[in-house]
Amino acid sequence: MLADVPSDATDDNLYVSALLRDVIPPAFVRLDDPDNESVVTKVMRLETDVNKIKLLVSLGRVARQDDFTADDLGSMEGALDTLNELDDNENIDQYIEAKLL
């Protein structure tokens, strides 16, 4: 069923199955506790006009590098926490576009 792509589908609506195509790493959605957050929940909480799926795909590319560690994942989550604490949405958008996409 997911392999049947509608004939009118564009690149923008093919991201529905990004998790299934291993574009977004399982570590980005894994939770140790139901009250915890993951990379996905932190990205979705961002107040930004940047396409969040594209941001997750970009972060996923980084996470698939051979030298990516659990500490790197923690740093990534910390950076997302910092972005979530900022009030200046325009600068958040600019930072994400310049540094994370």
The three-state secondary structure class of 8 is: coil
Query: Does 8 map to a domain?
Result: no
Which one is predicted more confidently, 5 or 101? 101
Indicate the average pLDDT of the chain.
84
What is the tens place of the pLDDT at every residue in 77-97? 999 999 999 888 778 899 899
Query: Does 6 map to a domain?
Result: no
Find out whether 95 and 55 touch, Cβ atoms under 8 Å. no
Helices (H), 18-87: 39-45, 52-63, 70-85
Pairwise CA distance, residues 70 & 84, whole Å = 21
Query: Does 73 map to a domain?
Result: yes
Query: Does 14 map to a domain?
Result: no
What total of structural domains would you count in the chain? 1
Query: Does 48 map to a domain?
Result: yes
Query: Does 16 map to a domain?
Result: no
Query: Does 65 map to a domain?
Result: yes
Domain that holds residue 48: 43-100
Q: What is the pLDDT of residue 21?
A: 60
Find out whether 64 and 27 touch, Cβ atoms under 8 Å. no
